């Protein structure tokens, strides 16, 4: 699960920078891996507590949840579609809990589900506002300066680093949160294992989804890419602070769409956006069904 999350979600913090040629792919994945580990260890505890409250799990059900969510995200990564690892984890948790007869805290589910709408909408609004009102001013005042592009590139790198930290703090619960709830791992150990597996995915198989985010949705210049990255990082940091794991994929797509709306709808790759939207709908459903099937197989084989 951690590996597949890393392969899919690395695109969400540095994909725009790589697409805008502000940073190389190799440097992007190294920085992402480093700061994902730091963010998970220092800020991942709140999200794990939220997942632990969603549904009760023992070791067998936790295994089914992790396997189902990991396979679902891996499938979407192979297709080059940026999807929500949060949705995969939550879908698997609910699917396994329902089949296993475990209680589900529907109030917690509503809180998480609401974030699936508010996080992309929030990043869209922030990106649209920044690009609509600040871009003309900055382009008029600063575009003639020799250091303008250099400052933008370093700004994108800095925001990418902050986004990588937020990715670790926000998403490590998707990987090992159920094992904390099941009593298998302590929070610090779960953070280290989850972060290391995410970093491994970032370093080994993240290029394809990064190309989708950075090049196939909307063609961005340096300044719009910086605004989109700022918008996404702000949303991730906000939800990590309140302890609700959200989708980095949804946040970055919302930000890119916000930039595209300023330029005109015709600049947005509608076909690619539709494919991503379908992936968002299918991810929790598929993870829930796969998790339920795994539990039926595992539960049947367990003694008692």
The predicted-structure confidence for 183-233, as pLDDT tens digits, reads as follows 888 888 999 999 999 999 999 988 877 777 766 666 678 899 899 989 988
Does 301 map to a domain? no
Does 289 map to a domain? yes
The number of domains in the chain is 1
pTM reported for the whole predicted model: 0.78
The predicted-structure confidence for 260-273, as pLDDT tens digits, reads as follows 888 776 667 778 77
pLDDT class of 237 with cuts at 50, 70, 90: confident
Of 209, 242, 248, 212, nearest in space to 229 by CA: 248
Does 33 map to a domain? yes
Does 139 map to a domain? yes
Does 300 map to a domain? no
The predicted-structure confidence for 12-47, as pLDDT tens digits, reads as follows 788 888 888 899 999 999 999 999 999 998 988 777
Does 193 map to a domain? yes
* Six-digit token string for 257: 């769409």
Residue 125 lies in domain: 2-293
Asked if residues 197 and 3 have their Cβ atoms less than 8 Å apart, the reply is yes
Does 304 map to a domain? no
Does 303 map to a domain? no
The predicted-structure confidence for 108-142, as pLDDT tens digits, reads as follows 788 888 888 899 999 999 999 999 999 898 888 88
């Amino acid at each position: 699960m951690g590996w597949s999350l890393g392969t899919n979600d690395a695109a969400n913090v540095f994909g725009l920078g790589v697409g805008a040629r502000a940073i190389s792919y190799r440097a992007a994945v190294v920085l992402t891996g480093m700061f994902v580990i730091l963010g998970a260890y220092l800020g991942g505890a709140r999200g794990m507590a939220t997942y632990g409250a969603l549904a009760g799990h023992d070791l067998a059900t936790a295994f089914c949840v992790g396997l189902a969510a990991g396979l679902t995200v891996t499938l979407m990564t192979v297709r080059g579609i940026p999807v929500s690892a949060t949705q995969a984890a939550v879908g698997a948790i609910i699917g396994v809990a329902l089949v296993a007869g475990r209680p589900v805290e529907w109030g917690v589910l509503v809180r998480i589900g609401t974030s699936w709408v508010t996080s992309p909408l929030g990043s869209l609004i922030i990106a649209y506002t920044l690009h609509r009102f600040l871009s003309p001013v900055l382009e008029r005042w600063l575009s003639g300066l020799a250091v303008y592009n250099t400052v933008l590139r370093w700004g994108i790198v800095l925001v990418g680093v902050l986004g990588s930290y937020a990715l670790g703090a926000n998403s490590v619960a998707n990987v090992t949160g159920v094992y904390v709830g099941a009593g298998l791992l302590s929070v610090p150990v779960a953070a280290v294992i989850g972060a290391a597996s995410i970093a491994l995915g970032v370093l080994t198989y993240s290029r394809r989804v990064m190309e989708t985010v950075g090049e196939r949705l909307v063609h961005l210049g340096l300044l719009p890419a910086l605004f989109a990255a700022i918008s996404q990082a702000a949303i991730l940091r906000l939800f990590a602070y309140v302890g609700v794991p959200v989708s980095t994929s949804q946040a970055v797509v919302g930000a890119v769409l916000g930039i595209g709306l300023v330029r005109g709808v015709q600049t947005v790759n509608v076909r690619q956006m539709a494919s991503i939207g379908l992936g968002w709908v299918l991810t929790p459903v598929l993870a829930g069904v796969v998790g339920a099937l795994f539990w039926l197989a595992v539960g049947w084989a367990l003694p008692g």
